[in-house]
Amino acid sequence: MFIDVAKIFVKAGDGGNGAVAFHREKYVANGGPDGGDGGNGGSVVFVVDNHMNTLLDFKYKKKYVAESGENGKGARCFGKSGKDLEIKVPVGTIIKDFETGKVIHDMSDGKPFKMIKGGKGGWGNTHFATPTRQCPRFAKNGEKGGERMVVLELKLLADVGLIGFPNVGKSTFLSMVSAARPKIANYHFTTLTPQLGVVAPFDGATFVMADIPGLIEGASEGEGLGHEFLRHVERCRMLVHVVDISGSEGREPISDFEKINLELERFSPELAKLPQVVCGNKSDIIFDEAVAAEFEKYIQEKGYKYFRISAASKQGLDEVVRYVYSSLGELPPLKVYEEEINIDDIVAEKRTSRDIDIKFESGIYYVRADWIFEKLHHIDPSDYEDISYMNKVLKTTGVYDKLEEFGVKEGDTIDIYNLRFEYLK
C-alpha cells in the first residue's frame, strides 16, 4: 500500500526532577543538602531511511514519545538522560506543522534533523543552599518536553516527471528507458502509485524519472485519482508529456494535451511553467497520419521540443533521454523547501512565557499558569523555608503585581493549585 501523507503526534522527553536529599554519614554532623540533578529528556530526531519509499508505517502508529530523563538521587547522583527518539522516514519527506501548515523541515539532504529538544533536568536541592538557607527542602522540577502534531508529506525526488492521460504509454516508456518495472496493462489506471526509475543515457550519466498516475480531465474536481499524486512532480525540474497520437482509442491529441496542461495549471501554476518535452507515442500503429502530423505542427508552433516515438518498440527513446539529460544541465537543481517555522523556538517561547490566568470566584482568587505549577507544586506549606521560597518566586515573577492589578487586598484568600493562603503585603 502506498501512503504519502500521514499525521502524527510527537513529544520530546520530560526532564527528570531534581532530588531533595541530605548527606548522611557516620561522624558527619549536619552533612547538608546533596540532592542530584535530574537527567535531560530525549529529543525527537527524524532520520532518512533509504529503504523506505512510503509512509505506510505511520498509518498504524500515530503517537511518538521520546524517553524522559530520570529523577536525581541522593549523594549528588544525577539522573540518567533519556534516549533520543529516532523516527525513520523516506528521503524527500516534508515535515509540516499541523496547526499552521508551515514547513518545519525538508528531509531531502539525507541528514538527521532534531525537531524538538528534550526538556532540561531540574536542579537538586544542592543548588538552593545559601548562607541563610542551609537546608533547602525543595528542588527544581525538570522541564516538560515540547510536543506537536505534525503532517508528513512525501514528495519524491525525481528530476523528470512523466505526465499524460492514462494508457498513453507512460509506464511502458519508463520500463524501456530504466530498470523500473511498473505494472503494464491495456486499461486505464493500470498505474495506481508513483513509479521511479533511474535513466542512464550515457555511461556515468544518470537522472531520475517518475511516472505519475491519476492525471485526467476533471482531476481537480475529484475525477479518477484526483490530484492525489501530483505532489510528487512538484520537485521535478522538467516534464515529459506523453500523448497518444495513434488514434487507436479515438483520442484527439491536441485536446488531450491542452486538458492535461489545464489540470496542471489548476493544481499548481508553478508546475505548469516547468519546461516540457512532448512525445507523440504509439507512432508504430498510427490510424490517421493527418491527425499525427497536425499535432506535431501544433506542438512545434507552441515552441515545445517534440519527438515522435514508440515506447513499445523503443523507437526514438534514445533521442528523448539524451535531449532530456542535456536540458537538465541547464536547469536549477531539485527543489528543496525552506524551513518556515522552528518548533524549538515555539517550545522555548512557551517555557519562558509568564502568562497568568486569574479568576475570582466565591471570595477566592484562583491563580493558574503552567510555569507556576512547575515551579511550586512541590512546596510544603508546613515548611518555613519552602514558603519563603514561594513568596520570593511570586514576587520576582510579578504574580503579586498582577493580583493587585486584579484587585486583591490584604487578607484576601489566594488559591494556587489547591495551595491556599492569605495575601499579606
Instruction: Give residue limits of the domains in the chain.
Output: 1-154, 160-328, 352-422
Give the integer Cα–Cα distance in Å for 84 and 63: 15
Task: Dig out the grid coordinates for 278 from the structure.
Answer: 512532448
Point out which residues pair with 238 in neighbouring strands.
160
User: What pLDDT is attached to residue 220?
Assistant: 47
Q: Which residues of the chain have pLDDT under 50?
A: 185, 187, 189-190, 218-220, 222-226
Q: Is the CATH number 2.70.210.12 carried by domain 1-154? A: yes
- Give the residue from 153, 99, 208, 87 showing the smallest Cα distance to 337: 153
Contact 199, 323 (CB under 8 A): no
User: What pLDDT is attached to residue 397?
Assistant: 82
User: What pLDDT is attached to residue 312?
Assistant: 87
Give the integer Cα–Cα distance in Å for 307 and 173: 13
User: What pLDDT is attached to residue 228?
Assistant: 62
41's CB contacts (< 8 A; 6+ apart) are 12, 13, 14, 15, 16, 66, 67, 68, 69, 81, 82, 118, 119, 120, 121, 142, 143, 145
User: What pLDDT is attached to residue 185?
Assistant: 44
Q: Which CATH number, 3.40.50.300, 3.40.50.150, 3.40.920.10, 3.30.565.10, labels domain 160-328?
A: 3.40.50.300
CATH of domain 352-422: 3.30.300.350
Contact 10, 87 (CB under 8 A): yes
Give the integer Cα–Cα distance in Å for 198 and 190: 21
Give the integer Cα–Cα distance in Å for 250 and 106: 43
Give the integer Cα–Cα distance in Å for 262 and 342: 36
φ, ψ dihedrals at 88, nearest 5°: -85, 135
pTM equals 0.72
- Give the residue from 300, 310, 254, 252 showing the smallest Cα distance to 277: 300
- Give the residue from 336, 271, 334 showing the smallest Cα distance to 105: 336
